[in-house]
Amino acid sequence: MEFDRREFTTFLLGAAASVSVAGPASAQSDPLPSWNDGPAKQAIVKFVHATTDAASPNFVPLAERIATFDQDGTLWVEHPIYTQLVYCFDRVPDLVKAKPELANVEPFRTVLTGDREAIAKLGLDPLLKIVAATLTGVDVDTFRDEVAKWIAETRDPRWKRPYTELVYEPQIELLKYLRSVGYRTYIVTGGGQDFVRVYAEGVYGIPPEQVVGSAGAVSYQYGAKGPVLIKEPKLLLNDDNAGKPESIHLMIGRRPYFAFGNSTGDRQMLEYTKAGAGARLAMLVLHDDGAREYAYGPAQGLPDTKVGRFTPELYDEAIKDGWIVVSMKNDWKRIFAFE
């Protein structure tokens, strides 16, 4: 009567259909076809068995099955520059149009020149100035619409594709696989929560309430058309490093059983996950495929870069604590869906 039975049936069947991927029929159908057989893939399958098989001593009740994923460099490309920073730079001309006095103020002046080398040399403080100016001062609905438009229109310079196509196909398979066995998949990103929420549902199948990210304060105000939430230039959550487990506690309130990252910014999230009782799996992407994507570290002698640092110390901690290091080159048969 009042409930839309068709919709709910689809919902149930959708869940059931996904489950069958991991059910008895899965002997034929591999839920992770883009992963090469090897220790990483085996560790995932072993973890899923250990935590979802009712006969397992490490069985985890459905409600507690939480998996957290970093985004930049873990779910999609982060090199040579975080996508959200490209958005911020692209917003500067509109910002200067609205506030012409900024045209001759640094760092806006440099961004307006379009000089990539000069922009790449901007330090942290100038960058934060640009971030604060371009991500705040609007209401959350306007911001969402602006990001959605930008995401739909913008192409990356290397592959000439929307940034939302630069997601790693093996990870999309992994997200679906974990969900099919009852895990709720969360993004826990140093990037902006409001930014990532715009496309996370469409791209990763992760709804807004399961996106945890860095977040500025919003303020409730009365606009011309009613109440609005204005994005303020005040950082509320810095969701990186120790901020990741801290935000996980705030936003989820449960310790994850599974966590996936790729850089020192994910270290504490992986430590926190691994320190829980029972079977827990912590994984790290190592970007060692310069041909198909990028190669950077500086772990394993790969070039050191500013973005997404995977240090030798992180590598050592991973080996010592039984985290799984995933080699893009060796563990991933295919990196992008468009390959």
Q: Is 148 in the site for its own copies (CB under 8 A)?
A: no
Which contiguous run of DSSP H or E holds residue 233?
strand 226-237
Helix, strand, or coil here: 213? Answer: strand
Q: Is 235 in the site for its own copies (CB under 8 A)?
A: no
Helix, strand, or coil here: 329? Answer: helix
What values do phi and psi take at 73, rounded to 5? 85, -10
Q: Is 145 in the site for its own copies (CB under 8 A)?
A: no
Of residues 58-77, which lie at the interface with its own copies (CB under 8 A)?
Answer: 59, 61-63
Q: How far is the CB of 55 from its own copies (least distance, A)?
A: 9
Of residues 272-331, which lie at the interface with its own copies (CB under 8 A)?
Answer: 272, 275
Q: Is 16 in the site for its own copies (CB under 8 A)?
A: yes
Stretch that binds its own copies, among 157-165, 176-184, 294-302, 330-338 (CB under 8 A): 176-184
Q: Which residues pair with 226 in a beta bridge?
A: 223
Q: Give the span between the Cα atoms of 218 and 34, in whole angstroms.
A: 40
Q: Which residues pair with 284 in a beta bridge?
A: 261, 325
DSSP secondary structure letters along 19-85 = HHHHSGGGGTS-S-TTBPSSHHHHHHHHHHHHHH-TTSTT---GGG-EEEE--BTTTB---SS-HHH
Which contiguous run of DSSP H or E holds residue 217?
strand 211-223
Burial (CB < 10 A; 0-12, 13-18, 19+), residue 329, is: middle
| Cβ proximity to its own copies, 125 vs 220, nearer residue | 220
Q: Is 14 in the site for its own copies (CB under 8 A)?
A: no
Q: Using CB under 8 A, which of 74, 214, 262, 268 touches its own copies?
A: 268
Q: Is 4 in the site for its own copies (CB under 8 A)?
A: yes
Q: Using CB under 8 A, which of 41, 91, 179, 197 touches its own copies?
A: 197
Q: Please work out the total of residues on this chain that contact its own copies, with binding judged by CB under 8 A.
A: 63
Q: Using CB under 8 A, which of 86, 215, 302, 307 touches its own copies?
A: 215
Amino acid of residue 271: E
**CA-to-CA separations, 215 to 190, 253, 268, in angstroms, rounded:** 9, 17, 19
Q: Using CB under 8 A, which of 35, 40, 52, 288 touches its own copies?
A: 52
Q: How far is the CB of 218 from its own copies (least distance, A)?
A: 5
Site for its own copies, rule CB under 8 A: 1-8, 11-12, 15-16, 19, 22-24, 26-27, 45, 48-49, 52-54, 59, 61-63, 140, 180-182, 193-194, 197, 201, 207-209, 211, 215, 217-220, 226-227, 229, 236-237, 242, 245-246, 249-254, 268, 271-272, 275
